[in-house]
Structure 1
Amino acid sequence: MPLPAPPLDSRRYQQLVDELLARAPVHTPEWTNFNASDPGVTLVQLFAFLTESLLYRANQIPERNRAKFLSLLGVPLSPAVAAKGLATIANDRAALEVQALSKDMELRAGEVPFRTGQGLDVLPIETRVLLKRAVSEPTPELLDYYKLLYASYGGALPEDLALYETVAFDPAAGPADLSLTTDRSLWIAILGRKSDRVEGDDPWLPVRKALAGRTLSLGLAPATDVETRTLKPGGAAIAPADLLSFELPRVNSALAFDADGRPAPTYRRLETRADFDPLTQPGVIQIQLPDAGAIVSWRDLDPLESGVGDLPPAIEDGALADRLITWLRVRATGAALVRLRWIGVNATPIHQYETIVAERLAEGDGTIDQVRQLSHAPVLKGTVEVSSIEDGVERRWRVIDDLLAAGPEVAATGVEGVAGPVDVFAVDAEAGRVTFGDGLTGRRPAPGARLYASYGFSLGAEGNVAAGSIKGGPLLPAGFSATNPIATWGGADAEDTASGEKQVRRYLQHRDRLVTADDFVSIAWRTPGAAIGRIEVLPAWHPDLGQAGPGSAPGVVTLMAIPSADPDHPAAPRADRPFLDALCRYLDPRRLVTTELVLRGANYRGLWISIGVEVAGGASVAQTVEAVRKRIRAYLSPLPPTGAGVADLQGQLFGPAPDPALRGWPLGQAISARAILAEAARTPGVVSVADVLLAEGGRAATAGVEISGLDLPEILGLSVTAGDPISLESLRGDTGGVAPPTGPARLPVPIVAETC
């Protein structure tokens, strides 16, 4: 049962006045005038007012005791998490030179500050990203054209000819899948700026000299529409480092040919450095460029050679082709599945935080357990640095998780063992407090010691800005521009006190380890940087085992997580890669080493529903129809009702289970047209329901749709009308599909654009 904090004294002002005046005849019988104008009554009212103020403070004691007890348990609130992303810096109008920008440079998206995560060489170039997209079914006219073209050069059309068209990579049109190109490659044309062209035989020689020996920072962002992430037993697997190859053309002399007379170009593999997995995580790859003589490409190719085979794609725009300096080829090696939503040069990782340097704190006083409050809270973990100046000597302090692990400030003699660090402090990141030791466990700041703190603090979820929000920075050189090509991600606000207190009880149960199903739910809900709308835990079940029921996969735990919001699919949010990555990073160190954890989003089953209702007399038809529509959407919603939190979905620690209706549509429960009819009939103003037509996708109407595994309903179309329901064909409209392209051929040949 709940145990509310009891009030120590519930009396109010008027009750105190009445009680004092009632006692007056007993103690002072000579006092007989109790009118409001009497000075004695005025004094009684004054003391009643003061007493009520004291009682109010006294009634806060149980709540303060409870808060202090929770604080002593050592379960702090989750601090804010800084958003992160990628930014590109371009040399648009500055001089022809490579400028090296240092780390921690400030960029701004309006009033939101960002900091660069690493330095970079800003190369004075422009780029175009191109793909070789196969033409699966060439027309007879196109084949006849190439027969005549080959015949004009005295050759026959090869039997294994495969035509492709050069396509510019447009991130807005969707991710680029390298497995669907003819050569499993993505080509970056490195172009010179128009203003840097010089006269002579080699108009781009100054640009190549400027690029020689410099570092090209290439930003990559993989596609986010992943279905699953799996954490194998024994720890997270490390992806191979050579799944992507970065190459420049090796132009020694004339273009070489193979035994069949086909172009056989060779490429120079470049040295790269990266600290992330480019197939699953956004990041920046640093590529070392060679000398100026190697930054070239093939020129003056024959029309039957340009873009053929393994050569770079043909550029139809003559102005762009004239500005070409070289090609950077990004090639998928082996069977790597590479899908990129963005790629670009002059990139750097960014984080949303602001830095405070050398903030003056209150001086040390030599007492034990000294606490200093930082001016900004919450602060980011790992950013707090403290220094002190005592008698003109600077001392650097280290952060420590637990002050009990620190050593004494005066070393004990004759005691064996390894003493812990002494100059240490502990940080409460959410509260923004710095705590020092008591002398036995950690040094005490000496009396008069000047204390300084440097740290970073974040705006949390406010740092999740849209693509293109960053417009520049105060320290950017003249002629430079900066932007973020993709939206930033991962920012989360600090945990509020109410949610944190509810999680303390759960923490005492699971101790931050994933053992039971309830542990998975409780811990996953607190994942920083992931706004979770629903979590379902399926122990001993793997989603790839088909129709096998629970208990069929010992050692496996499947966690279905749905975001709380998705701008593209507000009614049925999809779990994208950043969302699943945030869960993986948070849950991986907390799971048992023998547990295989599978994280997936929901598998939505698209439904079309048409309902006809009879509206009661006197009721508004429009309002009743809208009420039915809202009720059906809420009934089939995969998410809990708006405003439901983890406490509502989990219930009390030792109390009854929460109402299943609060968790969204249950897993494994079939969708019945009769149940939808009954739900619509419960709407106020509905006399009866004429009929309910239910269908999945493009299929015919059915009485019910079976749901299994991680399936959940998604309403693709819902019609509610007064009278008979409209047909599903009218609701859906005419739909059709396009057959997938056939497999690639062996000799890619570009399509020659028609000109007049």
Structure 2
Amino acid sequence: MLPRIPLDDRTFESILQEARRGIPQRLPEWTDENTHDPGVTFLELFSWLSEMQQFYLSRVPERNMRKFLDLLGVVPREASSAEAEVSFGNVREPVMLPQGTKLQAEDQLFETLDPVKLLPLAIDRIVTRTLLEASDRSASNTGGNVAFYAFGREAAADSRLYIAFDREPVIGETVAMHIRLADDSNGAEYSGNKRNEVVPSARVAWKIYGWEEEHGAAWLPLDLIEDDTMHLTYSGRITFRIAAPVRPVIVHPAGDRPRYWISCTLEESGYELPPRIDRLLLNTVRARQQDTKSEQVLFDGDGQPGLTIVHDSFLARYGMLRVQVREAGGLWREWRELPDLGMAEEGSYAYVVERRSGVNGPVTVRFGDGARGTIPPRGVGNVRRIHHANDFLEQSLIGRSNGLPHQKFQLYDLPCKWRSGLLLQVGIQEGSSGTLLWEDWQPVENFDRSGPLDRHYVYNPETAQLMFGNDENGAIPTSYDEPNLRVMVCVLGGGERGNIKPHLLNQWVQPELDELGLTSDNAGYGFGGAEGESLEDCLERAQQEWQSPYCAVTNEDYIRIAKSTPGLKVSRVHVIPNYAPGRGKSASGAVTVVVVPYGLNDTPVPSKGFLATVAKHLEDRRLITTEIHVIAPEYIQVTVHAVVVVEPHFMEEGHRIVAELNRLLTPQDKPGGIQGWPFGRTVHKGDIYSAISRMKGIAYVQDLWLDAEGKSIRKSAGGDILLPESGIVYSGEHRIELISRTQL
């Protein structure tokens, strides 16, 4: 029996109740909705038929389910690899680690995503300075696990962060420093080019104490190459170049000796959440949990003698190399490596490889000049270097094609979890010489959109099975007597086990790197690793995505979309239709959105950058005729003055009344089910009476009046506080006078 897949979560009872709720709207003359009514019997009948139809539709096979999802543009997610920040230490001399350098955390392999130059440089001292105080934060950065505010808790303008190095940086050197912020839930996921969509809330300026001919020793602008932190808004990396000689200077309170300092000055304040630094790290790069068995790099041929192509990666240094050149027909010919081009004959397909001694330096491939070796033709991306692990050559040949439709191959030794992580080549015999020329084939989800000439294949990561077409949907590989199906690119890895704990990424895979005496460590957890999505989870996700609004139409749509602005933490949202600042409620077609960010106090104010980021996010999702404005809330301070008659034992409990009023008159939603005061809602004296009177020990409220501070507020004749549309209240210093009942 096929398992039941629920396409709809509605039951017979829910379908029936939904139909009955529609009776007053569609048939107001139908007043008898009891069970004995024939109309109710028909509703029950059709509800039963709907449930039966839903039951039978839910018993479609898995293949049909995938086709239905494909029509909606939804496919199950593949496994994803975890990433972690790895820092290197004990650097005695500059060392260049290439991209793809392999590290191990227990049984999990990680590879660096970028090349990194390790410098014999360390952070010696860290000082924060505000207008009121200066503090030495060095201990917090050396394993103390205590985060500190970069510019103090208030993050006022002109606050500074000082960072000292243990030695003088070399002129012309490029230094990369990784900044890990505490409580940065968006820093890991929201990175790369996506951060360009966020307008920073504050602006910082980096400087270095150095020497220049005109001014001598002074604080000079730092030659900043990259600021991935977006002015210390997210965790990330800053990269700068040492453009002038660095001079030592004393910075209080680290006054024991002069040091080599850089500084970060908060030039324009506005952080909703002041940056709190967890760690400052040098010689740090991001690593991904994967094991690249084979990789390809494409180069352009210039058609000139002595073509040289240079590349540096972990597999280029320590793996094996094959070189292919694309010919006029689109097929790739594999050239032969020789020790010396002097051994090459005219017309031979040959090249030489030049490697630097030691562990540093890229690997160079050099071609002939026509007389000694053939010149690669001119073209775009027509020269290919394939680097692979030493033990991969035998694994790369997965079998031979027999020329029949629907060929299947099981890749037991290469359990790749990504379709894009496995690229294939098919060998075709050149005439009667027996030489194989190679053609590239491309992975696809299925063969539904593949024609008879499309060189496509389908790889299923769940079963590690590879399948070809039938010459109608997808071409059939050319048959050959020997193995002619070869994996050109293969990347293994992925899954939840890559989300490692801190301080596990500390083993080198290559012995040559281990001999350098370098140390490696991950200060934080691995993040982002996940298993492949099952069909059931994919269906559930598709249902949730269809229920989530993309286009802003109703007030609820605006609220949900504004709260989901990428890269921001939005606490509350209020929508005012047909309203525009300066024009009031007569602005037809305008929508004003009031946003409240998360903050350290009860009255956080969004910066201009925060408002601009929300506005841009809504602008891409509004109706074409809608005019959108995003503004900050107008905070109104409300102070309660009351004379309360209480029981004798309650005379010392006035603070409980103040606490209750603070919970009532709060602008933020808080834990424990506490709801913030609604936007624009009048503060009635009756609300205050009710809040005080329902407390235990309260006899009655004898007298009460309200005061308010803020713009655009008015008081009614009865003493109520009338708020503007964008107004939201917060508590002032409430004054409560208690009188015992026995004194009356």
> Could you tell me the TM-score, scaled by structure 1's length?
0.48
Query: More helix per residue: 1 or 2?
Result: 1
> Could you tell me the TM-score, scaled by structure 2's length?
0.48
